[in-house]
Structure 1
Amino acid sequence: MRRKNDNPDDPYHQELLEAVRDIAKASDNIYGSRRMKKALNALSYLISGNKSRKLMKEAGVQVKYRKKYKVTTDSNHKKPLFENVLDRQFDMNGPDQGYVSDITYLWTHVVIDLYSRKVVGWSIGSRMKAQLVCDALTMAIWQRLPAAGLIVHSDRGSQYASKSYRRLLKAHGFMGSMSCKGNCWDNAVAESFFGSLKSE
């Protein structure tokens, strides 16, 4: 359990503020004080909702109230799913051991190497079809030549459960991995990338 201290000059208080900023960035600033409190509690910072509001204000975090946009993750399907092999193990010992991927509402798909945090494959299309994710992964394969055993993580979207995508993974000996249902933190690196992209 983390200790409580309301002194603004205390190192622990500064640690709290930094945690608030990190969570806000990872969520693309859509977390209000309630969800911020839950996220901090999950990290063992046991604070109240009122404290969460004060910290967000002090950290300069402003909540974005998003306009409606096209949903990019169609997880309401009956296609086969991969287990969450990655399980939030975002730190790799070397390049091309683990990739994460995601699609934005602008129909841009990226593949990111977890070791370097660099985009190693990408594709843009007018529709969110399986070809979009296959093209980005194929680019990563051409550029990086990853060995068999590579973990490729994504959300539970139908594109990642398609036959063509699964065949591509199998052909190269890669392990598919998918986030748990409704949990953006399982794909936090890719989510954070698009959050930064939208704010620029």
Structure 2
Amino acid sequence: MRELGLVPCGPRPWRATTIDDEAASAMPGLLACDFTADTPGRKLVSDITTLTPEPGCFLATVIDCHTKAVVGWAMADRMKTSLISNALDMAARNINLAEGYVFYSDRDCHYTSLEFRCQLRSLGIRASVGRTGVCWDNAMAESFFGALKNELAHRTTFPARAHAHRAIVRCIEMFHNRNASTPDSATRLSQKSHAEY
């Protein structure tokens, strides 16, 4: 990097956003930090983060462990269960989900809520959660968010939430998913989904 005159981008200080749900202790940790899959739709990892402090912009993503593509995502100005539900709905539209596939997340109360658990059951999904305060349990999602924040969100001043939404969509769909390990099986984002943002 010195030879090329490049200066690394340092990450901003970490800020906690997870509201731990004590009821999640009964949920299993099926992934065990194994983020590999033989075919698409067998293992999905998900997380939710805040991208910009003002105006508020929260992003929920669903990443397929086989393709490494963000197969589902949703943005909103508030962190709520419907945000991750919308991201999962998009993933279910964009890829063929294998029977009994694993959906992995942290112990955030939105992921362990009754509303979201009912959605998982209706899709035939096995829920899996990581340990409290162990970020590498969900390293794939954390790594994606780290790069997105460090290379885009923290280095850009967005005049309005709509500008942030467009920039994030371009980053996910036009850069990340096109450079995923198997681009042909990456997300097939519908025109309706594009229109929403």
| TM-score, scaled relative to structure 1 | 0.64
**Aligned position for 1:184:** 135
Residue number in structure 1 paired with 2:102? 151
Matched residue type, 2:118: R
Aligned match of 1:105:
50
In structure 2, the partner of 1:86 is: 31
Q: Give yes or no for contact 1:72–1:128 (8 Å, CA) kept in 2.
A: no
> How many pairs are equivalent?
140
* RMSD across aligned positions (CA): 2.2
Q: Is the 2:43–2:101 Cα contact (8 Å) retained in structure 1?
A: yes
Where 1:142 maps in the other structure, the secondary structure is: helix
- Separation (CA, whole Å) in 2 of partners of 1:196 and 1:85: 26
Equivalent position SS for 1:160: coil
Confirm or deny: 8 A CA contact 1:80 1:161 kept in the other structure. no
Of 66, 90, 95, which aligns to 2:12?
66
Change (3 A) 1:125 1:63: closer
Q: Residue 154 of structure 1 contacts residue 187 of structure 1 at CA under 8 Å; is this kept in 2?
A: yes
Determine the structure 2 residue equivalent to 1:34.
Answer: none
| Amino acid across the alignment from 1:134 | S
Q: Identify if the C-alpha distance between structure 1 residues 177 and 62 changes in structure 2 by more than 3 Å, giving closer, same or farther.
A: same
Unpaired stretches in structure 1, ≥5 consecutive residues: 1-59
Bigger radius of gyration: 1
CA distance in 1, matches of 2:105, 2:7: 28
Query: Of the two structures, which has the highest relative contact order with CA contacts closer than 8 Å and spacing of 6 or more?
Result: 2
* TM-score, normalised with respect to structure 2: 0.65
Matched-pair identity in % = 39
SS in 1 for 2:139: helix
* Contiguous gaps of at least 5 residues in structure 2: 1-5, 52-57, 152-197
